Amino acid sequence: MNESETIAVLTRGDERLEYADAFMWAAQRLGAQAYHMRLPSPSDAAGAWQVGDVGLGTNPVAVEALKNVDMVVDCALMLFSAEQTAIQAAGTRILSAVEPIPILARLFPTQELRDRVELSQKYLAEAKSLRITNDFGTDVTYRLGKYPALAEFGYTDTPGRWDHWGCGFAFTGSYDDGVDGTIVLSPGDIIHPFDTYVQSPVKFTIEKGYVVDISGVEGWSSLDADFVKAHIDSFDDPRGYAMSHVGWGLDERARWHGMVQDPAVIGVETRSFYGNVMFSTGPNNELGGPNDTPCHMDIPMRNCSLYLDDELIVDKGDFAVPELRPASRR
Ligand code: FE
């Protein structure tokens, strides 16, 4: 952000108004032109909340205004909307900032984190295979090379690029039929969008890029497996059983137990914590693939080992590659 640039801060209703004040103060300090775009509250308060639907779809004048600034700070979360895509295509960069203030403060983006996230992106982009194991019986292999690797490191200085304050991870996707094996979630692993911690192991059997079975594990309750199955089935869309993106988080400041303390989090911190291996199910259109099912789960796992082309990258939840560790842990 500099003297030649313009910034718009987007909020909705009475949400995060203090965020807008803080961002405009910061923009002024940097000499940039700033304004606050405040969208109305939803008129149908009883309606189901849809990710990305902040009311811009019926407000083309507002969308045009946002296309004409250098940067939008999005405190309304228009993520995954067609309007966001159009604003980015016009060259406007976008930073989402919606997490509670203490999390934004703790996960303030740094060049050092960015370097490690972009190095991760490079590793993922160059690999032909990715294998994950854990002590609960996970052994799954992704065939890579069809889709790009993406990085989120919490800020953006590139025209048209989006990022999310608090993120520190990289990911890619397999060939559409390129995942085979078994994943077993262990207690403490996280299921988004439930925003809960697994209590009882969940076993996914995967063939040719699709989950073909979800079950509990002998000696444990099957409750978490039943929840996952019921959730995916509720979409009545077999594409919800597809395997989606896969990667890892790098931010040693992020707390995997963050939701225990504050259930209001969006889930940035729980996707970014150091050494987590995150896999997901459902759509791959974010990477350029054909699957656009609305049934999407992100599942960060602890204590996994991950190999790229048989080279150990993550060793039981810590990085085997020294350059992926923060300086203090090398
Ligand atoms: Fe995802």
**pLDDT at site 51:** 57
Is residue 85 in some structural domain? yes
Question: What separation in Å is there between the alpha carbon of 149 and the centre of ligand 1?
Answer: 13
Q: Any idea what the CATH number is for the domain that residue 34 is in? A: 3.40.50.10140
How many A from CA of 25 to the centre of ligand 1?
Answer: 32
Is 162 a domain residue? no
**Nearest Cα residue to 180 out of 217, 205, 201:** 205
145 and 58 fall within a common domain: no
158 within some domain: no
Q: Is residue 225 within a helix (H) or strand (E), and if so which, with residue range?
A: helix 223-233
What distance in angstroms lies between residue 299's CA and the mean position of ligand 1's atoms? 9
Residue 251: both structure tokens together: 């931010």
- The reported pLDDT for the residue numbered 48 is 45
How high does pLDDT run on average in the chain? 94
How much distance in Å is there from the Cα of 276 to the middle of ligand 1?
Answer: 14
Do 92 and 239 belong together in one domain? Answer: no
43 pLDDT band, cuts 50/70/90, is low
What's the 132 CA to ligand 1 centre distance in angstroms? Answer: 18
Given a cut of 90, whether residue 89 has pLDDT beyond it is yes
Q: Would residue 145 count as lying in a domain?
A: yes
**Cα–Cα distance between 33 and 56 in angstroms, integer?**
22
From the CA of 264, how far away is ligand 1's center (Å)?
Answer: 18
Residue 156 lies in a domain: no
Could you give the CA distance from residue 118 to residue 167 in angstroms, rounded to a whole number? 12
Pairing mode, if any, of strands 6-12 and 129-133?
A: unpaired
CA distance 158 to 160: 6
CA dihedral for 80, 160, 89, 173, sign (positive or negative): negative
Domain count, the chain: 2
Asked whether residue 114 falls in the same domain as residue 61, the answer is no
Q: How far is the CA of 30 from the centre of ligand 1 (A)?
A: 33
**What spacing in Å lies between the alpha carbon of 316 and ligand 1's midpoint?**
22
Q: Is the pLDDT of residue 49 over 60?
A: no
pLDDT, tens only, 203-236: 999 999 999 999 999 999 999 999 999 999 999 9
Residue 47 in this model has a pLDDT that exceeds 50: no
Q: Are residues 308 and 284 in the same domain?
A: yes
**Measured between alpha carbons, how far is 102 from 238 in angstroms, rounded to an integer?**
39
Least confident interval from 44-53, 80-89, 252-261, 303-312:
44-53
**Rounded to the nearest whole angstrom, what is the distance from the C-alpha of residue 12 to the centroid of ligand 1?**
24
pLDDT at 44: 57
**Per-residue pLDDT reduced to its tens digit, 145-181:** 999 999 999 999 999 999 999 999 999 999 999 999 9
For residue 78, the enclosing domain spans 6-98
Q: What is the pLDDT of residue 50?
A: 56
Question: How far apart are the C-alpha atoms of 215 and 299, rounded to whole Å?
Answer: 16
Helix axes 60-67, 82-89, angle to 10 degrees: 30
Task: Tell me: pLDDT of 82 over 90.
Answer: no
Look at residue 3 in the predicted model and tell me its pLDDT. Answer: 86
133 domain-assigned: yes
High-pLDDT (> 70) share of the chain, %: 97
Edge-to-edge strand order for the sheet containing 33-39? 33-39, 6-12, 71-74, 93-96, 162-164
Ligand 1 geometric centre to CA of 219 (Å) = 31
When pLDDT is averaged across residues 85-92 and rounded to a whole number, the result is 96
Q: Are residues 180 and 322 in the same domain?
A: yes
Tokens at residue 152, please? Answer: 């989120």
